[in-house]
Amino acid sequence: MGTSEPGAWLLLAGATRLAASAAGLACRRRPGLARAAVFGGAAIASALTGGVGLLGLGALAPLRGRLVAHEASGQSLGYSVDALSGFFLVVLAILGIAVAVYGVGYFARSTPGRVVFVGVALNVLLGAVETVLVADGAIGFLLGWELMTLATAALVATEHEEPAARRGAFLYLALSHVGTGGLVAGFFLLAAGAPSVAFADILGPRAAALPSRDAAFLLFLAGFGVKAGVIPLHVWLPEAHPAAPSPISALMSGVLIKTGIYGVFRVCVAGLGLPPLAWGGVVFALGAVSMLLGVLYALTQHDLKRLLAYHSIENVGIILVAAGVGMVALSLGRPGLATLALGASLLHVLNHALFKGLLFLGAGAVVAESGTRNIEHLGGLARRMPWTAGFFLLGAMAISGLPFLNGFVSEWLVFQSLLLGFHSSSDTFVRVVFPIGGALLGLTTALAAACFVKAFGVTFLALPRGKGAAEARETGPLMLAPQAGLALLCLAIGLVPGPIVSRLVGLAGSLVGAPPGTGGLEASLFRIAPVAGRFDTLSLPLAAAAFAVSLGLAAVLAARAAFARRPAATWGCGGELTAEAEYTATAFSKPLMMIFGAIYRPTREVSTLETAPYYASEVRYRSEVEPTFERFVYRPLTRGLLTLAGRLRVIQAGSLHAYLGYVMALLLFLVVLLWWRG
């Protein structure tokens, strides 16, 4: 095997992960060494697969080969790295390296046993995701998929003393298996009568001609939707993501849910032939619902990590809206528009991985230092943890879609595809649905900004509201460096998006087989613009220069009084200002909660506990948002399933004779079936 062969690099990465895990287990009595081994190995292996990903991203034809072969049975596992796999591998590698480096610092205070457990599980998880991304057939894909689910569940249950972690892990396992069931059924539908289960054999033209391709589409969408956290299949996400250790949460929100998006692109967008209009419509609608409800539920959260988890649902929604626009454009025979929308979707995959990884790593530092995830007990951290605060602020601005950061670029592209689609199409569906999508995306972005003013402001600004926040200290360089790296990438894409955008739009074009020259975007270093007679252009370097000059003007104007600065305590209406007087996160989101009361259906309880002569001296306030999906969908569903299981107990009587009878009956049935069919 030559060194240039990607298979060798993939195997080397796998071997590195195994060796790192073994080394970690071997030196579990020396925690420092074990940490360096497991996390260092994970970072090196991620760098290797990231390199393979770059090769795939640059290659014209998919890089194929065989990973493992079993001589006796003639079975083998192959890999195939095309641009799509390559792109996702790169995203995974960026976050994998960041999380591994961060982990060395983060787990410094954990027990050695836990360090080794997390390190080994992390290596297994990263290896499994890599397997999913490079698999060239259904078997490898499902093997990796299942391993990924199990490793994630183990990591969610890391802090298994906490009931919340156990519950999160269980919910994740249960729903993931329902999803995997959908995928298996989908692959069965596609593989019936095919020469093999390799993607080359079951996807593409053959699948396009299947009569059952609508059913296959729905099965795959449900299976991938569970993993991606699409509403209404999302209920595991806000339970499992916060329960995991923070670097693992970053990986889950940044990349793991994107494996669902990878699946949607691989199978639903490009694998089942030209998608009909209805498919695009379904994906679009699911995305629109997910983004709006995701951000609305995020607004009511006071648990920093749960809030970020709900924002993952929002961003998956944005990714799917763009994918839906692309599919609709494909079905209408508009390859240029389709590549623009799909490219926007892929860019948002990368962007979300970067800023959500950044935010979760920052939240991890806050939680580790202050000991609480409840932002109502935080505050004042910007003075105690200035670097973490700065990086978190950049992440918050990126996720709010503000200019000069990466989130704005992908949202700009999604808006372009929606509006350009509307402008250049006379299809009634497009004319009705796209403007609604545009308005909802605008609302979502604005609400996300409101949510992150709250999340950043209440966590990092003003006076500390609790002892943990008052005693927090800045974290070490190992935990800050990955945040700095991710923040720099967010800024780089936000300032000079041209190269990456044009590469991703090109990727989308090759994925859907758009004829060359029909690309939907002109991009250079300084400017990006959809190809459509001066429809719109964006030159972020130019805009940033204007902004920088204006910022300079502000400094010049204020220069005369620059040194005349008098520090004074904030006026507390006559009394001393304490942390109790500060606006809380509950209060901050209260107006929006009342305005969207029809969706939240909040319950509120106010009780006066003690009354001094003239005013209430102690009041207790409790407010809750109704968990609509849990209550109206999942609770009846689980209740029904349990009832059904109870009924089925009749045949599970424990009698050996009965079981032999069942086996006999099945055998007879199969014989009759064979005789009847053949």
Residue from the set 587, 606, 616, 642 that interacts with other proteins by CB under 8 A: 587
Residue from the set 450, 470, 488, 599 that interacts with other proteins by CB under 8 A: 450
**Does residue 547 bind other proteins (CB under 8 A)?**
yes
Rounded Cα–Cα distance for residues 645 and 659 (Å): 17
Nearest-CA neighbor of 11 among 94, 126, 127?
127
Residue from the set 374, 510, 539, 623 that interacts with other proteins by CB under 8 A: 539
**Does residue 598 bind other proteins (CB under 8 A)?**
no
**Does residue 536 bind other proteins (CB under 8 A)?**
yes
Closer by beta carbon to other proteins, 57 or else 296: 296
How large is the angle between the packed helices 83-106 and 477-495, nearest 10 degrees? 150
Candidates 57-65, 83-91, 184-192, 572-580; binding stretch for other proteins (CB under 8 A) = 572-580
Using CB atoms within 10 A of its CB, is residue 677 exposed (0-12), middle (13-18) or buried (19+)?
Answer: exposed
| Whole-number Cα distances in Å, 167 to 96, 160, 163, 374 | 26, 9, 6, 19
Residue keyed to tokens 């799509």: 84
Rounded Cα–Cα distance for residues 360 and 344 (Å): 23
Rounded Cα–Cα distance for residues 537 and 528 (Å): 6
Q: Which of residues 551-570 bind other proteins (CB under 8 A)?
A: 551, 553-555, 557-558, 560-562, 564-570
Rounded Cα–Cα distance for residues 608 and 611 (Å): 7
**Does residue 248 bind other proteins (CB under 8 A)?**
no
Closer by beta carbon to other proteins, 131 or else 290: 290
Closer by beta carbon to other proteins, 591 or else 636: 591
Per the DSSP assignment, residues forming a β-bridge with 75 are 70
**Does residue 579 bind other proteins (CB under 8 A)?**
yes
**Does residue 461 bind other proteins (CB under 8 A)?**
yes
Question: Hey, what are 530's tokens?
Answer: 């959809």
**Does residue 47 bind other proteins (CB under 8 A)?**
no
Candidates 363-371, 581-589, 618-626, 641-649; binding stretch for other proteins (CB under 8 A) = 581-589
Report in angstroms how near the CB of residue 103 gets to other proteins at its nearest: 29
Per the DSSP assignment, residues forming a β-bridge with 64 are 80
Which element (helix H / strand E) includes 621? strand 616-624
**Does residue 139 bind other proteins (CB under 8 A)?**
no
Rounded Cα–Cα distance for residues 109 and 271 (Å): 47
Closer by beta carbon to other proteins, 39 or else 434: 434
Using CB atoms within 10 A of its CB, is residue 575 exposed (0-12), middle (13-18) or buried (19+)?
Answer: exposed
Q: Which of residues 407-436 bind other proteins (CB under 8 A)?
A: 408, 412, 415-416, 419, 422-423, 431, 435
Closer by beta carbon to other proteins, 169 or else 528: 528
Nearest-CA neighbor of 100 among 247, 259, 244?
247
Report in angstroms how near the CB of residue 417 gets to other proteins at its nearest: 12
Rounded Cα–Cα distance for residues 346 and 500 (Å): 10
Pattern 352-391, other proteins, x by CB under 8 A: ----------------------------x-xx--x--x--
Closer by beta carbon to other proteins, 559 or else 650: 559
Q: Which of residues 143-202 bind other proteins (CB under 8 A)?
A: none
With CB under 8 A as the rule, give the number of residues binding other proteins. 87
Residue from the set 293, 458, 472, 490 that interacts with other proteins by CB under 8 A: 458
- 3-class secondary structure, 68: strand
